[in-house]
Amino acid sequence: MAKQWKAHCLLVPHPSQGHVNPMLQFSKRLQHHKVKATFVIPRSFWKTITNQSTFKSSIAFETISDGYDEGGRKAAESGEAYVERFRKVGSQTLSELLDKPSNNGLPPVNCVIYDTFLPWVLDVAKKFGLIGAAFMTQSCTVNSLFFHLHQGTLELPVKESKILLPHLPELEPSDLPSFLYLQYGMYSFFWDYLVEHFSNIGKADWVLSNSVYELEHQVVDWMRKMWPLRTIGPTLPSMFLDKRIQDDDDYDINIFKSNNDLCLEWLHDKPKSTVLYVSFGSIASLSEEQMQELALGLIDTDTYFLWVVRESEEAKLPKNILEIASEKGLIVRWCPQLRVLSHKAVGCFVTHCGWNSALEALSLGVPMIGVPNWSDQTTNLKDIVDVWKVGIRAPMDQKGILRREMLKNCIKEVMESEKGKEMKNNAMKWKNLIGNSVDEGGSSDQNLAEFVAKISQH
């Protein structure tokens, strides 16, 4: 049994939907290359998985503790307290896991792959003499900005109206991750936390990035001069890209319940490219005023819409929204996003520009209307609009609200205008390039093969 595997990796993701998805997908790619993957998540996160009973995976799962086994992040008094306790208790319990003798016929763990949001995992891996591979779940552009802060080559507060940094497009202050400009000072703890990723990255044997060389080649080339960086993305299930891993057609883990059949049946009879898909990811919480404007704008367009409104956001909707939306709109609490984006009926994605959502839309050729909420989403939008040219920026008023009239104009621009057609053509171009990158011999495929070959020799 042990002979079947060339190496054995422990993968330690940050416990949230947008971070677990890419690492779990990467585990499947590793196993396809005969590297055993064991996925390690906090017990508190395991309890939030809604599809545990139907969950089938050949990936081995283990749990550690974040210090809040019963409630996870929500049980902590603050974000800062959670990070500190997770670092302390996580280090202890991960060490205990690595100390445990393997008695299941698997080869001993020789490599630990960790989300850069958890830099302490590298220290634990090194204590055990293991290969340590950092895994970046944000774009290389965003990571390079936090690295510049760490190095002091970008200083806060930003005073210039144009920011010129090596191998990045010219940025306006509002293109920076929100913690650095638009919400500067509001999340100072997050700021430290994101910069801290780089405290020990020089000790990592590998730096893997869920990005694609062709999307960000200039900044990737620059980062590769400093670290053994390899782009291995996008980590979408294989059946949406190269189709080489037959049973890989889903992200597998959901912390929200989804009625997949309802969404797909509703899309089924809609004509090609007539549906607007609207989602703000797993974390964003919009103001009630913003939700009302979106609702009234969507109802007032000529377009069908499928809108994901998580249960915690539902109370902000107009009371009679479901009756008014009737046939034209479907509002669900969660949906199978990849199946929706790859459905021929979907013509445009109104998105918060989370990195996974942006990569998914690019990979599936769907133009976007960007309504960023916080964090790296503002920077992802800059790339979507000005670098990849596959979307537009939704204009906000002085209160930071996207008004219904503006939303309607954006929808018209993407779904009906000549500029919209260009964006669709660009999106299809990226779809092909990204597909090639993960297919045999493509940039991400070669990087993965190199990583596997090297860790198999250790």
Say whether 383 is catalytic. Answer: no
Measured distance CA(330)–CA(343) in Å, rounded: 15
Q: What residue ranges bind ligand UDP (CB under 6 A)?
A: 17-18, 21, 279, 281-284, 308, 334-335, 337-338, 354-357, 360
Look-up of token digits 């200039």? 218
Nearer to ligand UDP, 222 or 355 (CB): 355
Catalytic pick among 8, 14, 66, 115 = 115
Q: Cβ-count burial of 209 within 10 angstroms (0-12 exposed, 13-18 middle, 19+ buried)?
A: buried
The Cα–Cα gap between 183 and 78 comes to 18
Least Cβ distance, residue 236 to ligand UDP (angstroms): 8
19 is catalytic: yes
Distances (CA, A) of 56 to 87, 105, 248: 30, 20, 11
Q: Which is nearer to ligand UDP, 93 or 356 (CB)?
A: 356
* 5/240 with CB nearer ligand UDP: 240
CB-nearer residue toward ligand UDP: 36 or 431: 431
Name the one residue in this structure whose structure tokens are 């993305």: 233
Minimum Å distance from CB 396 to ligand UDP?
18
- With a CB cutoff of 8 Å and minimum separation 6, the contacts of 430 are 215, 362, 363, 365, 388, 390
Residue nearer to ligand UDP on the CB measure, 154 or 267 = 267
Question: What are the CA-CA distances from residue 384 to residues 259, 294, 346, 415 (Å)?
Answer: 30, 21, 18, 16
DSSP string for 57-120: -SSEEEEE--S-TTTGGGGSSSHHHHHHHHHHHHHHHHHHHHHSPP-SSPPPP-EEEEETT-TH
CB 332, CB 313: distance < 8 Å = no
**Minimum distance of ligand UDP from residue 17's CB (angstroms):** 5
- Least distance in angstroms from the C-beta of 280 to ligand UDP: 7
What is the smallest separation between the CB atom of 73 and ligand UDP, expressed in angstroms? Answer: 13
Of 283 and 396, which has the nearer Cβ to ligand UDP? 283
**Beta carbon of residue 284, minimum distance to ligand UDP (angstroms, whole number):** 6
Structure tokens at 203: 């000790």
> How many H helices and E strands in the chain?
16, 13
Distance CA 87, CA 82 (A): 8
Catalytic residues: 19, 115
